[in-house]
């Protein structure tokens, strides 16, 4: 009964919230969840801005979309911004939602 | 009062001491931080309060009185970043993009420095024209745009101007300042009387709390000083003296009093560390925050807060007495 999907989690500087939301949708995701996050990366080189910290965006998508999203992160986010992302397998019930 | 005692009085004022306490807190690595929501509330309070007070002052001013200073401020907003960009050429290590990012920060302005200056000048009985807030709002934006344009000459790609403009214009600092100006302008002195206690009497105390937090944030930047290099440190201190003097002169030439001209000097000398970093981060990810944030928040902000504010007052007095 359950269907396979990919869960992508992206952690990035809060300044990029709007840009990332738009980009994720344009690659085919149907929705996402954003929470605020704090933490430490391997380079410890966050922008160090006064406000914001990081956001953590989660979205559940088909595998094909997950690849497109990762490709986009690779070209537009990883080179310049403090950004982490990972993918895992999840199962969902309502196929048409994800 | 001579320059030394003015400087000492500024250094021993509660807001500046709270800032120093914040620096100390960062240096000995305490876990002290203002909780994020409180920080947000205080920054909204400061922005809105300053906006409203400026709007009330604007409603009491004649247009002829305000027109020239506004024009002068616009010119400053366009000139200062260009000047910064070209002077930074002497720092050979900096890329064009980093120079543009710094120009954007120094072309824009710091609300807290402005507020501390006004409160300090009034505490030593130097009056400041209330509509200076309008000039603060005007000086926020053009510098950032000019800086981004200069930086874009060093890029091999298109800058997403639409996103940058939206970020600059819809950022809440400019929204609250401009909104406050409108509220103050419409409600006038009569309407303001009802909220005066909240926005005037409590103001220096709230600012003191805010500076404690800024001290902590600035203190954390200090560890990046070495990485940024001595050139940036020199620039962060010398440039405000140049741009500040330009600001004082503009104030005097456009008819501001001693206090008003000194405040315009402080506005011009100060560097942005809220609006500009957000815009620069989006538009110029290649520029290093370790350079522009360290310069504006770690060097120039403490310098202006402690020495820049009394120095601008002295420059203003000197130019006035020299009959300029």
Tens of pLDDT, residues B166-177: 888 887 888 998
B176 and B9 in contact (C-beta within 8 Å)?
Answer: no
Give the tens place of pLDDT for each residue, B3-40: 788 889 899 999 999 999 999 999 999 988 888 889 88
Interchain CB contact of B293 with A (< 8 Å): yes
Residue predicted with more confidence, A24 or B277: A24
Checking if the pLDDT of A45 tops 60, the result is no
* The pLDDT value given to residue B324: 58
Which H or E run includes B160? none
Residue predicted with more confidence, B289 or B184: B184
Residue contact B39–A51, C-beta within 8 A: yes
Residue contact B274–A50, C-beta within 8 A: yes
pTM given for the model: 0.88
For residue A94, is it within any domain?
no
A72 and A89 in contact (C-beta within 8 Å)?
Answer: no
The per-residue DSSP string of B172-221 comes to HHHHHHHHHHHHHHHHHHHHHHTTHIIIIISHHHHHHHHHHHHHHHHHHH
Tell me the CA distances in angstroms from A84 to A37, A80, B151, B259, B262, one per residue in order.
Answer: 12, 12, 27, 50, 46
At B295, phi and psi to the nearest 5? -65, -50
- What is the chain B residue with the closest CA to A52? B36
Interchain CB contact of B172 with A (< 8 Å): no
CB < 8 Å to B164, chain A:
none
Checking if the pLDDT of A49 tops 50, the result is no
Checking if the pLDDT of A44 tops 80, the result is no
* The pLDDT value given to residue A46: 53
For residue A25, is it within any domain?
yes
Question: How many domains are contained in chain A?
Answer: 1
Checking if the pLDDT of B323 tops 80, the result is no
State how far residue A35 is from chain B, nearest Cα, in angstroms: 15
Give every CB contact of residue A9 below 8 A, 6+ residues apart in sequence. Answer: A56, A57, A58, A85, A86, A87, A88
Tell me the CA distances in angstroms from A35 to A11, A17, A55, one per residue in order.
Answer: 10, 10, 6
CA distance B172 to B178: 10
Residue contact A50–B281, C-beta within 8 A: no
Query: Counting beta carbons within 10 angstroms of the beta carbon of residue B28, is it exposed (0 to 12), middle (13 to 18) or buried (19 or more)?
Result: exposed
- Which DSSP state fits A44? -
Residue predicted with more confidence, A53 or B270: B270
User: What does the mean pLDDT of chain B come to?
Assistant: 91
Give the tens place of pLDDT for each residue, B197-210: 999 999 999 999 99
CA distance A4 to A20: 24
Flag whether the ipTM exceeds 0.95: no
* The pLDDT value given to residue B53: 92
Residue from the list A47, A50, A80 with its beta carbon closest to the beta carbon of B217: A50
User: Which CATH number is A40's domain given?
Assistant: 3.30.70.120
Partners of residue A87 on adjacent β-strands = A8
Interchain CB contact of A16 with B (< 8 Å): yes
Checking if the pLDDT of B121 tops 50, the result is yes
User: Domain containing A72: what range?
Assistant: 3-89
Q: How confident is the model at residue A47 (pLDDT cuts 50, 70, 90)?
A: very low
Partners of residue A92 on adjacent β-strands = A3
CA A39 to chain centre: 16
* The pLDDT value given to residue A82: 85
Interchain CB contact of A42 with B (< 8 Å): no
For residue A97, is it within any domain?
no
The predicted model gives B42-70 an average pLDDT of: 92
The per-residue DSSP string of A14-25 comes to GGGHHHHHHHHH
Sheet of A33-37: strands edge to edge? Answer: A33-37, A54-61, A3-13, A83-92
For residue A95, is it within any domain?
no
Radius of gyration of chain B (CA): 19
Beta-strand ranges (E) seen in B216-271 are none
Q: Which of B36, B163, B285, B286 to mutate to test the interface with A (most CBs of A within 10 A)?
A: B285
Checking if the pLDDT of A52 tops 80, the result is no
Checking if the pLDDT of B83 tops 80, the result is yes
Residue from the list B39, B282, B293 with its beta carbon closest to the beta carbon of A48: B293
Residue predicted with more confidence, B313 or B35: B313
Residue contact A47–B274, C-beta within 8 A: no
Range B135-162 burial, b when 16+ CB lie within 10 A, else e = bbbbbbbbbbbbbbbbbbeeeeeeeeee
Residue contact A51–B40, C-beta within 8 A: yes
Which H or E run includes A95? none
Residue from the list B40, B221, B278 with its beta carbon closest to the beta carbon of A15: B278
Give the tens place of pLDDT for each residue, A54-98: 899 999 999 999 999 999 999 999 988 889 999 999 999 999 999
Tell me the CA distances in angstroms from B279 to A2, B9, B39, B82, B148, one per residue in order.
Answer: 44, 36, 20, 18, 9
* The pLDDT value given to residue B74: 96
Give the tens place of pLDDT for each residue, B99-113: 999 999 999 999 999
Residue B252 C-beta-side C-alpha neighbours within 13 Å: 21
Which H or E run includes B257? none
**% of chain B beyond a pLDDT of 90:** 71
Give every CB contact of residue B267 below 8 A, 6+ residues apart in sequence. Answer: B73, B109, B113, B114, B132, B135, B136, B139, B247
CA distance B303 to B294: 13
* The pLDDT value given to residue B222: 85
Interchain CB contact of B273 with A (< 8 Å): yes
For residue A96, is it within any domain?
no
For residue A13, is it within any domain?
yes
Checking if the pLDDT of B224 tops 90, the result is no
For residue A9, is it within any domain?
yes
State how far residue A63 is from chain B, nearest Cα, in angstroms: 29
State how far residue B140 is from chain A, nearest Cα, in angstroms: 17
Interchain CB contact of A59 with B (< 8 Å): no
Give the position of tokens 């007095």.
B317
Give every CB contact of residue B222 below 8 A, 6+ residues apart in sequence. Answer: B23, B26, B27, B298
CB < 8 Å to B278, chain A:
15, 49
Give the position of tokens 């009330």.
B56
The per-residue DSSP string of B106-143 comes to HHS--HHHHHHHHHHHHHTT----TTHHHHHHHHHHHH
For residue A32, is it within any domain?
yes
């Amino acid at each position: 009964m359950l269907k396979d999907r990919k869960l992508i989690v992206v952690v990035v500087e809060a300044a990029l919230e709007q840009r990332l939301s738009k980009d994720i949708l344009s690659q085919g995701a149907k929705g996402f969840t954003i929470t605020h996050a704090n933490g430490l990366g391997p380079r410890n080189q966050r922008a160090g801005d006064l406000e914001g910290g990081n956001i953590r965006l989660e979205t559940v998508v088909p595998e094909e979309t997950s690849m497109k999203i990762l490709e986009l992160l690779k070209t537009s986010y990883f080179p310049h911004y403090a950004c982490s992302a990972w993918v895992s397998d999840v199962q969902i019930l309502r196929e048409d939602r994800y | 009062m001579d320059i030394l005692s003015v400087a000492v009085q500024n250094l021993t004022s509660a807001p500046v001491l709270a800032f120093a306490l914040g620096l100390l807190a960062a240096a000995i690595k305490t876990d002290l931080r203002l909780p994020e929501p409180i920080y947000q509330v205080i920054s909204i309070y400061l922005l809105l309060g300053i906006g409203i007070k400026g709007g009330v002052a604007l409603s009491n001013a004649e247009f002829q009185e305000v027109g020239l200073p506004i024009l002068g401020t616009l010119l400053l907003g366009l000139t200062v970043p260009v000047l910064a960009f070209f002077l930074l050429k002497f720092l050979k290590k900096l890329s064009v993009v980093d120079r543009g990012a710094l120009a954007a920060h120094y072309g824009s302005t710091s609300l807290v420095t402005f507020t501390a200056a006004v409160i300090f000048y009034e505490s030593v009985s130097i009056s400041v024209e209330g509509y200076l807030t309008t000039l603060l709002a005007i000086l926020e934006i053009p510098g950032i745009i000019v800086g981004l344009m200069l930086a874009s000459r060093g890029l091999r790609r298109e800058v997403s101007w639409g996103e940058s403009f939206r970020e600059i214009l819809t950022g809440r600092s400019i929204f609250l300042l401009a909104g406050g100006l409108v509220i103050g302008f419409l409600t006038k002195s009569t309407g303001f009387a009802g909220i005066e206690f909240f926005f005037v009497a409590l103001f220096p105390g709230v600012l003191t709390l805010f500076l404690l937090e800024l001290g902590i944030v600035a203190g954390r930047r200090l560890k990046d000083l070495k990485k940024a290099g001595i050139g940036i440190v020199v620039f962060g201190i010398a440039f405000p003296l140049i741009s500040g003097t330009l600001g004082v002169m503009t104030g005097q030439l456009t008819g501001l009093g001693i206090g008003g001209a000194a405040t315009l000097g402080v506005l011009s000398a100060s560097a942005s560390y809220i609006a500009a970093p957000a815009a620069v981060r989006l538009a110029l990810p290649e520029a290093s925050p370790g350079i522009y944030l360290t310069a504006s928040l770690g060097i120039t902000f403490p310098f202006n807060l402690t020495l820049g504010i009394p120095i601008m007052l002295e420059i203003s007095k000197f130019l006035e007495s020299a009959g300029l």
